Structure 1
Amino acid sequence: MLRPVSHPLSELRPLALGEIIDRSATFWRKHLKTLFLLSLGFNLVTYIVTKAMQLAMQRSLKVFQEAAVGRGDPATVLGEYGRFFGVLTGTLVVTFWLYWMSTLVVSRYVVPTLLGETVSPVEGLRRGLNRLGTLTGAFVLSLLWAVGANLLMALPGGLLTGAGAGLLALSDGPGGRLAGGVVMGVGLILVLLGLAGGILWYLLRFSLLAPVVAMEDLSAMSAFRRSGLLLSGRVEPGFLGRVTVRAMILVTVVSVILLAVSLLSGLPALIVQFSYRNPLDPASVAANPVPQTLLVPAELLQVVGQAVFSPLALVFYALFYLDMRVRREGLDLERRLEAR
């Protein structure tokens, strides 16, 4: 059984951004053990998938190393590049899906607890299994939407890069080649900025998707639309009244926390790797493999550290979802009427 709820029903009301952050941190501290256990399994599976990808890429690194010194067969190198990006894309998709599933499970525990209900952590896992198809369908829709948004945002830079490449190919003089290089460089910068903007947009647009699937009995398409509606428009006057602005601030806070945790918990693994090789040098990575008996324990420390702190970000999203329902739908008033 769980301990009493951190914030009674009488405190359910629209929250300022600082209050969302403060209450999220308070809830995370009081329920640290439960949140850790809920997240640990997903973090371990994510680590196993990522580790399998790293081991599978060792052959690719050798092929790329041979190509760098002019000894690789072009057809083999091209095929290896295709295999590399295929495995990398598949790994990213699986790890993102695991992240959404983890958010669903944690949200199913956090939101009812904040509403004063007694809920078992197993309920979150049960809900995740029951809503597996819905979450997967909504996740696929979000990926398709994200691909379209990223292509659209990267299109201006892509066109400029192509124009610069054309200038380089058609120019004979140094002036033309310089102009082509500058145009191509500016285009590449715009492509990177567009992709970064697309990723930020994805994190904002679908930040409430998993909580919606966790708490509401909707189809994949309905959950997809519902998460967008909760994040649209404004909830109060002023710049901070726009929901996208509020979400952006929370996503930035969450991202900074996760980045700091990732860096700190990843230090043991980095120390082990740098003691054998330079992880940023593909030739060094291929020539000086780190013994897995040393690397795996260090990486597992990182997994445990992330399982401790990453639930804080998931609590942010769950509480933000609850706040949007209070502000937009009067959930606080509805719950008080039901309690009479």
Structure 2
Amino acid sequence: MNDTPGWASPGSSPPDGHEPGTSGPSEPADRPGSEQPSPQPGAQPQSPGAQWSPQQPPPAQWSAPSGQTPPPSPPPPGPGWGAPPPGGPGNWQGPAGPGNWQGPGGHGGWGAPWGGPPPAAKPGVIPLRPLGVGEILDGAVSTMRTYWRTVLGISLTVAVVIEIIVVLLQGLVLNDYANTDALGDPSATVDELAQAMGDAMLTSGVLFVISLIGTVAATALLTTVTSRAVLGKPVTTGEAWRDARPQIAKLFGLIFLLLLIAVGVAFAGALPGLLVTLAGGGDGGVALAVFGSFAGAVVALWLMIRFSLASPALMLEKQSITKAMSRSAKLVRGSWWRVFGIQLLATVIANIVAAIVVIPFTFLAAALGGDGIGGFVDGTGDFGWTFLVVSGIGSVIGSMITFPITAGVTVLLYIDQRIRREALDLELARAAGVQGYGPAAPGTPGS
């Protein structure tokens, strides 16, 4: 039987290879050409080092002599890249030594069990890593819940100011100037219908512009609040105003420019059909105008989503209008459907919640009015001051809900896209003072 060179069995001769009381080196048992006499029955063995003991240890249990290190055995094949070892986390135990895995209770090497990647830092309302849809919505709601004094204070102030302007404008000017009774009269002439539609469009346009101004102002202030909430830093209304004031004029310019682009694209799509209709094209011109309007609306929607992150880019990066639009287009590139879906979902949720509040106030206002709910449903009721004031209260409460959600989702979506493309989470962690990330770099949003 041959043994591996440099290894000795238990119970063998001392390391010098000499038998006690004898002189001269002993012959190794596995030396080539040496022959060992077979022992006779009942004879005593000549020496422990001359031959192997009849009782050998089980296989793979040899021990190395002192001062010698056995060659490391190859580790068992792993289950695959990134998967935990067989038998559960932390149960892969290879040869002891530096850099080797050890199971629970092992010594040396990696003593901690396999637990996956460490959780992302969360100094504020969101974890600093790429976000899911639910985390973006939850971050907007958490901002409103955590910093409710500032968020609701800004939303309430803007909503009250805007609603007072709307109520006064409707009660003193628009109700007397605009005459839309012909829209519900089957016997009205074409000229009367055209006049009524023009008045309705003018009234709606004026109210839309006023509401848009309030939305822009609320978005500007809430953008600062949300960016600070990501870092876990509170901000007062005064601080938000001081931070947002230099960019508010640019934000108004950005919003109106986007509106002009959307209207211009939609009108350009319908223009060929309108020209054909005016030239006597008949039904073909009308069909072309309808198809062109639809195509223009699709292009306008695509552009609005492409530039939807320009507002937080302008407010947080202190960019110009054109550079903010360019930044938004860069961040949305390749993620148009994701950005569109998240913003659409946030808008639907905010409007549903607001409608739950606004609709009861509207029916209450109609009931308190002169013609009752029946006149309101038929469209023949007189929208007096009682109706305007009561429905205005419901609109204020609804705006307090929609402003924080829509503005918060837009800001968090902007931050999420920058985390995915530009590793903004590292800068945010530094700005939040998370250990292990170093000092904050200048220009970090919310820092």
Do they fold alike, i.e. is TM over 0.5?
yes
Inter-partner Cα distance in structure 2 for 1:97 and 1:194: 28
Identical columns (%): 25
The answer to whether the aligner puts 1:257 opposite 2:349 as a matched pair is yes
- Residues of 2 paired with 1:81 and 1:11: CA distance? 50
Written as runs of structure 1 = structure 2, the 5 A alignment for 1:146-165 is: 146-155=262-271, 158=274, 162=277
Gaps of 5+ in 1: 1-5, 169-179, 235-242
Per-residue CA deviations over 1:18-52 (Å, capped at 9, x if unaligned) read: 32223333333323332111111222233234334
Which whole-Å CA distance do the structure 1 matches of 2:142 and 2:208 have between them? 31
Which structure is higher in helix share? 1
After superposition, the Cα gap between the structure-2 partners of 1:67 and 1:304, relative to the gap in structure 1 and judged at 3 Å, is closer
**Offset at residue 109 of structure 1 (A):** 0.8
Q: How does 1:167-316 map to 2 (within 5 A)?
A: 168=282, 180=283, 186=287, 190=291, 193-194=294-295, 197=298, 200-201=301-302, 203-231=304-332, 233-234=333-334, 243-271=335-363, 272-273=365-366, 275-279=372-376, 281=378, 284=380, 288-316=381-409
CA distance in 1, matches of 2:222, 2:255: 17
Paired residues of 1:276 and 1:290 also in contact (CA < 8 A): no
Change (3 A) 1:66 1:315: closer
**Alpha-carbon deviation of 1:118?**
4.2
Counterparts in 2 of 1:269 and 1:117: CA distance versus 1, 3 Å: closer
Distance 1:295 1:143 in 2: 28
Match of residue 220, structure 2, among 104, 129, 147: 104
Match of residue 248, structure 2, among 129, 132, 147: 132
**How many Å separate the matches in 2 of 1:267 and 1:124?**
32
Say whether 1:321 aligns with 2:411.
Answer: no
Match of 2:280 in 1: 166
Could you tell me whether the CA contact under 8 Å between 1:109 and 1:123 is conserved in 2? no
**Which range moves more in the overlay, 255-264 or 317-326?**
255-264
Report the residue type matching 1:48 in the other structure. I
Residue 106 (structure 1) shift:
0.4
Structure 2 portions without partners, runs of 5+? 1-120, 431-436, 441-447
Distance change (3 Å), C-alpha of 1:158 and 1:22: farther
Residue 152 of structure 2 aligns with an amino acid whose one-letter code is F
Q: For the pair shown, which has the larger CA radius of gyration, 1 or 2?
A: 2
Question: In structure 2, which of residues 175, 183, 187 is the aligned counterpart of residue 58 of structure 1?
Answer: 175
Q: 1:8 maps to what in 2?
A: 123
Is the Cα contact below 8 Å between 2:305 and 2:340 reproduced in 1?
Answer: yes
**What is the distance in 2 between the residues matched to 1:201 and 1:278?**
40
Could you list the per-position Cα deviations for residues 124-174 of structure 1 after superposition, in whole angstroms to 9, with x for gaps in the alignment?
2223322222212222322222222222444576578x38x9354xxxxxx
Mapped to 1, the partners of 2:281 and 2:260 lie a distance apart of 33
Are residues 1:143 and 2:259 paired?
yes
Note closer, same or farther for the CA distance 1:153–1:30 as it changes in structure 2 (3 Å cut). farther
State the partner residue of 1:333: 426
Please state whether the residue corresponding to 1:11 is helix, strand or coil.
coil
Q: Distance in 2 between matches of 1:281 and 1:18?
A: 41
Q: Return the letter of the residue paired with 2:326.
A: R
Distance 1:73 1:187 in 2: 23
State the alpha-carbon separation in 1 of the partners of residues 144 and 205 from structure 2.
32
Q: Is the 8 A contact 2:358 2:395 kept in 1?
A: yes
Residue 185 of structure 1: how far off its partner (Å): 6.8
**Compared with structure 1, are the counterparts of its residues 312 and 69 closer, same or farther at alpha carbon in structure 2 (3 Å cutoff)?**
closer
Cα deviation, residue 114, structure 1: 0.5
Q: Which moved more, 1:325-334 or 1:79-88?
A: 79-88
Structure with the bigger RCO (C-alpha within 8 Å, sep 6+) is 1
Give the C-alpha shift of residue 250 in structure 1.
0.9
State how far apart, in whole Å, the 2-side matches of 1:88 and 1:290 are. Answer: 15
Say if 1:203 and 1:100 are closer, same or farther in 2 by CA, change over 3 A: farther
Contact 1:159–1:187 (CA<8 Å) still a contact in 2? no
Residue aligning to 1:43? 159
Residue 81 of structure 1, CA deviation: 6.2
